[in-house]
Structure formats: C-alpha cells, structure tokens
Structure 1
Amino acid sequence: MSSQTGNDSLKSKTTKGLLWGGMASIIQQFLGFGFGILLNRKLTAEDYGLVAMITIFSVLASAFQESGFVYGIVNKKEVQHKDYNAVFWTSVGIGTFIYIVLFFSAPLIALYYNQPVLVELSRFTFLSFWLGSFGIAHNAYLFRNLKIKERVITGTLALILSNTIGIYLAYKGYAYWAFAVQIVSYSGFNMLGFWYFSKFKPSFTFDFSPIRDILGFSSKILVTNIFININKNIYAAILGKHYTTEELGYTVQPNKWSQMAQSILTNMVNNVTQPILREIEDDKDRQVRVFRKLISFTAFLAFPMLFGLTTVAQDFITITITEKWQQSAIFLQIFCIGAAFDSVSNVFSSLIISKGKSQIYMRNIVVFGLLQIAILVFGKSLGIEMLIALTSGLNALWIFVWYASAKPYMTYSFRYLIQDVFSYAVLAGISCLAAHYATASIANLYLRFASTIAVAVCAYIIVNRVFKPSILLELFSYFITVIRKK
C-alpha cells in the first residue's frame, strides 16, 4: 500500500511539474515571441548586433556569481537556513566584485569591437547580473522545494513588465537602449519575485562554512554553466570581431527564437527530471521506464516543433518581422535543427546530474564548447552561414556523446535510443517534407504558412498513429482523465 502511495505521489509530482513547467514555458515563450516581434519591427539589425556583442560578458558573470549553487542546494540531503544564507551572501559578494571589474573593463570591451558606444551600454547592461545575484539563494529554495507554480508566476510577470518597458522605450526612439533596459529590468523583476515567494529571508549572520560542502558539487557546475553560456552566446563574441554589426544582428533573433522553442520543452522537463530520478534512484527498472517516457515525450515534441519551424522559416520571418529581416530566415532554419537534438541531449544531461556525476556533465559541456570555439575561430573565413551550420551539426552529433556518457549509469540500450529518439526525428522529417511539397504551389503567403503547419501536424499524427501509437494513446488517455476529474 505504501509503495502504491509512493507511486501515486511521484506520478502526481511529475504530472504537476510537467504541467506547470509546460504551461510556463509555453506562456513565457509566446509572450517573449510576441514582444520580440514588436521590438524587431522597430529596432534594426545593428541595434541587436551591438547588444549581442556584450551579452556574453553578462551571462558569464551570471554563471560566476551563481557558481552552481542552485544545483548544489538541490543535491544536498538536508538544507538549513544557514546554507541558504551562505549562498546568498556569497552570490552577492561575487556579483558585486565582478560588476566592479567589468565596469572598469568597459573601455577595453569597446576597443575590442571598435564600438565606442559600448562603454556606457555595457556598464548599464551588466547591472542585470548584479541584480540577479540577490535572488540566487531564493531561487534555490523554490527549485529545491518544487515550487514550480511560484517560479512560473515570477518569470511570467518579469517577462511582461520588462518587455512592456522595452517596447515603450523602443517606440520612443531609444534604439538599442530599449533592448538594454528590457534585459536589466527583467533581472530585477525576477529577483523581486523570488524574494516574494521564498520563505527564506537572509540574516546578517556571516557563516560561510556551508559553502565548502556545496562547492564540491557546485564547482563543477560552475565550470559547466560558464561553458553552457559560452555555447549559447559565443557567436556574437567571436563573429562580432570579424563581421559587421548588421551581419551579426541577423543571427541574434533566429538564435533566440530557436532557443525559445527549445526552452518550452527543456524547462518543462528540467523541472521534474532531476528531482524525480533521484527519488527513485534505488529502483533501477522503474528508473529506466520513467527515463524512457521522459526522453520519448521530449523527442515526440521537439522534432516536429523545431523541424516544423525550419520548414516555415521563410514565411514565418516575413509575416512576423517583415521582409527587412528576410536574411535571418536561413539562420533560423540552421539553429532549429541543432536545437531539436540539443533538447533531447538535455534529458541525458539531467540523468547524469541526478546520478551526482557532475564531472562527466562538466566534461561534455566543456569539450563541446571548445570544439565550437575552434570551429568559429579557425573557420571564420567560411562565412557566417557555414559556421553556424557546422556548430548546429555538432549539436546533432553530440547526442551520441551524451548517450555514451549516460549508459554506464542506466541500462539504456542503443536500440532504445533509436526507438525513443531517432524514430521521432525521422517521422517529423517525413511529415515536414510532405507538408512543404504539398503546399509549395500556394501563392498566398498567409494561406501557405497556415496550410503547411496544418498538413505537417496532420501528417505527424497519422505517421505516429501507424508506426508509434503508444505515446499518442498515453497522452490521449491522460487528458481524458484530467478532463473527467474536472
């Protein structure tokens, strides 16, 4: 009876986590998408290019200040107030120190890119990670205690408020400053939300002894987070030196949109994967079953979503942000292909973290980052399109590295990988190709766009019903159950 109760409790936690995480991701990404369209219609590629040049400094500083403390807190068996308090003051101290260093380094950054305007712009934008440092311990509290709803509300409100401010300034003619204000205000609102919902309140007791225990795990996460942020933002840092701000600007929004689509899935799954897998760590057979469902669910959604966006990229860009951004469509297509495979790799990486193997997680992220940097540095003469295509291809291949790294810790065979991942990639690819050729002759832009999506969705459902009906039946049964309960 207790086992059944535990199963029901686990299923309830997983379901609530997936529902709240999924709802949050969908709402936040669509809000971000809508606000992004309004900003894109007003700002230029040069505006985006300027801010993109300094983004990597902010995200790296954020990684340094967080130092993996969130995951370190989650993986601790028992957490007391002194642990959160130590994380709070350490994060604030690191954040303040790094901001001061970057403040005085701003002229060197501007000199590197030969853009004098970056001095003041970077000093202002760097406030985003300093404000964020005040909410790291509170975010760790919410994450450890599976306060997913509270994190959803915080992120959504921060997104709405910051983007409203950014759009207002953009339409008042503040150009790239509007984008910068949006970034800083989002960080501030997010921090305030974490404080509001978290029961933890810092005290002026400076006991940093818990940091030593956390650092054994979190130090590896620190290095990992640095390279994760490098991997996502390295294009601007390296290419901004060798290409114009306009050329760079055309890659910014496609990269952001592909990451937004990917985040709908990864945020949903990340909210439950690590805590749930740790909870059933002693039941190996059950862990395999749960993991297979998680990775199948991710692949089932990731490939049609991102391959579908690749299929309609040209029409999508024209409809949303007008023809002046048409050059960015090819980048959106390339980024989306890599993001689809990266979404699945994320589930493997969460498994590795749940096993406490942060050194393996770190190694895979670092090696990937170094290879990506090597491609961008040594291949800069190939042109932006080819460089991004190569890094996207690396993303697709890296799933095999994650699989090989996870295999020693779970009896997950290569046959499972084909069944749970690549079968959905093939079915999604077939569906999208069929939709493209079936609607290519339609002259009306809007009708072609809508028809391509409709045909792709119908084709994907049909091929899954024929070749892989189990996941469709599970999802259908689950939603029927939810409706009946209501």
Structure 2
Amino acid sequence: MSSQTENDSLKSKTTKGLLWGGMASIIQQFLGFGFGILLNRKLTAEDYGLVAMITIFSVLASAFQESGFIYGIVNKKEVQHKDYNAVFWTSVGIGTFIYIALFFSAPLIALYYNQPVLVELSRFTFLSFWLGSFGIAHNAYLFRNLKIKERVITGTFALVASNILGVYLAYKDYSYWAYAIQIVSYSGFNMLGFWYYSKFRPTFEFDFSPIRDILGFSSKILVTNIFININKNIYAAVLGRHYSAEALGYTVNPNRWSIMAQNILTNMVNNVTQPILREIEDDKDRQLRVFRKLISFTAFLAFPMLLGLTTVAQDFITIAITEKWKQSAIFLQIFCIGAAFDSVSNVFSNLIISKGKSQVYMRNIVAFGLLQIAILVFGKSLGLEMLIALTSGLNALWIVVWYASARPYMTYSFSYLVQDVFSYAILAAVSCLAAHYSTASIANLYLRFASTIGVAVSTYIVVNRVFKPGILLELFNYFLTVIRKK
C-alpha cells in the first residue's frame, strides 16, 4: 500500500471515528440531559443523595470485573476466539463473586451511612455491574475492531430505553427506586446491544491461559480504573457520614452534568486516539502532527463549552430544573472548571496508553486519587463548596503532570502545550467574561441566558479568527468539502 493510500485510509478512519464518536456523544449527552431534567423535576436532592452513597460500590465492582481486559485486548497484536472466551468467563466469574460479597455486606453499608433503606436499595443497584459483566468481552471485540457505529447505536438505545423507564417510574412516585431501576436497566440494555452486534459467542471451553498474557498490561489498567472511578464518585463515599443525603444530592447532578459535557469530547477522541496513534507509532513526525491536532481540537472545544456552562450556571439551573435546585449552581461552576482541563489531560493519557506504558498511566491516576482522598478526608470540615473547589483545582493542575509524563514518548515541548492548550483556555475565559459582563444587566432570565451564550460564542469565534485561525479554517474547509460531496 502506498504512503498516500495509507494516509487516506488513516484520515478516513479518523474522520469516521470522530464523526460517529462526536455524533454519539452529542446525541447521548443531550438525551441524558433531557431525561435528567425530567427526573430532577420529580425527584428530590435526598433521592439522588441516597443512590450516590452506594454508587461507588457499583463502579468499583465494575472496574474489578472488567480488570482492564478491554484495553488489554486492544493492545494485543493478535487476538483469537480463546482470548475473548477467557475474558468472558473471567469477567462473569469475578462479577458474580463480587455481587454475592456485596449482597451480604449491604447491612454494613447501611450502618456506615446510618441509612437503613440502603440495604435493599444497594442489593438491587449492585445488579448493574453483574449484568455488565456479561458484555465486557463483546464490548472489547467491538472496540478492537473499530465498530464505533455499533457501539454508538448500543449506547444510545440503552440510554433512551432505561431513561424512559426511569422517568415513568419517577412520575409514578417510586422516588429513589426510579433512579436505581434506570441505572440497572441501562447496564442490561448495553450488555444486550454488545451481544447483538459482536460476532463473538462464548463457548464452554475454560482455557484461562490467555488471561496471563493480558494481565501484564491489564492489571495496571485494573488499578487505574479503580482509581478513575474513585476519583469520579468519591464525594458521597467519603462525605456521606458527615453531610446529609440532601446536601450531597445537590452535588450529584452538577458533577454528572459536567461529566456529560466532558464526555461529548472524550468519547469522540477516545474512539480514535489509541488505534490511530498505534497505527503510526513508527513515524514519529507524523504521530506528533496527529497528536497536536487531536489535543488542539479537544482544547478548542472543551474550554468554551465547559467555561461557558460555568458562566450561565445560575440561569441554566433555574430554567432547566427550577428554583428548588438553585443550590446546585455553585457546584456546577466548580466542577466544570476542573472538567475542562481533565478533557485535555485525557488526550495525554491516551497517548501514554498507546505507547504501552500502562504503569505510567496507573501511577498518575493513583497519585491523583490519593491526593483527592486526602483533601476530602482531612478537609471535610471546610464545607462542600471548598472541598469541591480544591479537588477541581487539583484537576486543573494535573494537566502539567500528564504533560511531563508524556514527554519521554513524544517530542512535545512546553511551548506546544501553551499553543495547543492554554491559549484556548485564555481565549475561552476572555470570551465568557465578556459575555457575562455585557449581559448581566438584562432582567429577563431567558433573554439573559440566550444573550450570554450568543455573545460568548460570537466572541470566541472572533478572537480565534484573530489569534488562532488554524482550527477554525480546518473545520470550515472540512465541512465545506462534505457539503460539496453531497
């Protein structure tokens, strides 16, 4: 295959991956947000707080059962049926064992939080990770073979079906059970979708020798996934004994929404970054160019999106879920700032994984998690706002750690970091501040909200056209080409 043909093939894979990943992320996050609004209007902060207290057990169990097998499969040069089969039975076995252990531990969990209702609620909610264990090998098959469209369809269907069920039950006054059922059904629908689209089917051949080959890589991913899930769900787990379920409930949706906004970008980029960077790992110059485009694209979108959400947080909360949730606005602002930087850090982490350096990836995630836990444990008397502000600030600073960790594997200078990341952060911040101060005097809530967004977007486009025209021109030319082809 000629160099030009390889180039075109790579561009095609990248474009399709970004297109499907982008469409999926936008559709799924907006659907999730829309259904979330309906749930928020019916459920209370206490309902969300109760489920949040036990969420960390489910996500940690999911990390254990997956054990990094998806990334382990992706990074294997050759994969056969026996590899997927070993992953399937190992995942199901681990998931079943952990569910049984947590089932009998439910009274202790309820005692820890002094919430008796958590006994039955946790036993039911924990079914989510057990159902998920049946789809891990199939998900790995789809991910390795770049079946992005199929994963998109699966995730979208699971999201819609589970949320329709959750909203229906919420309006039938099932309170926190509606939210729990939505979580469990989402996992079940996802698993069924992975089975439907994957060509892999498990067989009763119990050869676990492939697991030994995968474990050298995936064991580090296991530890990493545990701490990733701790990092995202630690607030309620650590602070559940010191703050009420209602107080914690006001942090749940801001955290979830900031992650939703972040996921629009990270899901899009994650679909292509590792496979593409691995495909061109022997061409260092080309890999650097591709990486800079990926990280610039992420920063170009992440900072205006998340800093913009910070700017309109108060009006957004009031319009979307009414005044009863106004205490959530400050938490949304804080979470979004950290999420903007974390979106960019995600590209560095994908680069490190693509180089097979799972130990470096693990070290950074674990170190961040331990620091975050220390902040929450030793600073619990500071109040929820200060604690979340400190952990969000840690997120922003951690991008420097990811940059330093990636440098040995790519000649990416600090000046590149400034050009590709911090310049967009500054331009987005300037645009958002201009929008805030120019529309603050507008009395009408809806007009102020729309005007702030309009001014922020317009200002950001203008300042980019003046100071950073590269990405804008490239996106414009790409969409112009697509339109001409039609």
Both structures adopt the same fold (TM-score exceeding 0.5):
yes
Amino acid of the structure 2 residue aligned with 1:192 = L
**CA deviations over 1:359-413 (Å, ceiling 9, x no partner):** 0000000000000000000000000000000000000000000000000100000
Q: CA deviation at 1:302?
A: 0.1
Distance 1:483 1:76 in 2: 39
Q: Which residue of 1 aligns with 2:144?
A: 144
Query: Structure 2: which amino acid aligns with 1:300?
Result: F
Residues 49-72 of structure 1, C-alpha deviations (whole Å, 9 max, x = no match): 000000000000000000000000
Partner of residue 191, structure 2: 191
Provide the rounded CA distance (Å) in 1 between the counterparts of 2:81 and 2:241.
46
Q: How big is each residue's C-alpha offset from its partner over 1:121-171, in whole Å with a ceiling of 9 and x where there is no partner? A: 000000000000000000000000000000000000000000000000000
**Which residue of 1 is the match for residue 73 of structure 2?**
73
TM-score by structure 1 length?
A: 1.00
**Mapping for residues 243-262 of structure 1, pairs under 5 Å:** 243-262=243-262
Matched, 1:349 2:349: yes
Report how many residues are paired: 486
How far has the Cα of 1:228 moved from its partner?
0.1
Residue equivalent to 1:284: 284
Work out whether 1:223 is the aligned partner of 2:223: yes
Matched letter for residue 479 of structure 2 = F
1:3 aligned residue: 3
In 2, the alpha carbon distance for the partners of 1:132 and 1:123 equals 15
Question: Gaps (5+ residues) in structure 1?
Answer: none
**Corresponding residue number in structure 1 for 2:328:** 328
Match of 1:62 in 2: 62
- Aligned-residue CA RMSD in angstroms? 0.4
Helix, strand or coil: the match of 2:77? coil
Quick one: percent identity of the two aligned structures? 90
Per the alignment, residue 452 of structure 2 pairs with 452
TM alignment of 1:395-414, pairs within 5 A? 395-414=395-414
Q: Is 1:42 paired with 2:66?
A: no
Cα distance in 2 for partners of 1:312, 1:41 equals 20
**Paired residue for 2:268?**
268
- Amino acid across the alignment from 2:264: I
What is the CA–CA distance in structure 2 between the aligned matches of 1:103 and 1:485, rounded to whole Å?
57
SS of corresponding position for 2:241? helix
Instruction: Name the amino acid aligned to 1:28.
Output: Q
- Cα deviation, 1:47-97, whole Å, max 9, x if unaligned, reads 000000000000000000000000000000000000000000000000000
The CA deviation string for residues 415-451 of structure 1, in whole angstroms up to 9 with x for no partner, is 0000000000000000000000000000000000000
Deviations 1:286-324 (A, max 9, x none): 000000000000000000000000000000000000000
Q: Which SS does the other structure have where 2:104 is aligned?
A: helix
**Gaps spanning 5+ residues in structure 2: where?**
none
Letter matched to residue 11 of structure 1? K
Provide the rounded CA distance (Å) in 1 between the counterparts of 2:313 and 2:338: 15
Say yes or no: does 1:176 pair with 2:176.
yes
Q: Distance in 1 between matches of 2:239 and 2:43?
A: 21
Find the aligned partners of 1:304 and 1:446 in 2 and give their Cα distance.
20
Matched, 1:21 2:26: no
In structure 2, what is the Cα distance between the partners aligned to 1:240 and 1:440?
A: 37
Query: How far did 1:485 drift?
Result: 1.3
**4+ runs of 1 displaced by more than 3 Å?**
none
- Tell me the equivalent position of 2:114: 114
The letter of the residue matching 1:467 is F
Secondary structure of 1:310's aligned partner: helix
Q: So what's the TM-score if we normalise by structure 2?
A: 1.00
Counterpart amino acid of residue 61 in structure 1 = A
Is 2:188 the counterpart of 1:211?
Answer: no
- Once the 2 structures are TM-superposed, how far is the Cα of residue 232 of structure 1 from its aligned partner? 0.1
SS of the residue 1:241 aligns to: coil
> Structure 1, residues 9-48: CA drift from partner, whole Å, max 9, x if none?
0000000000000000000000000000000000000000
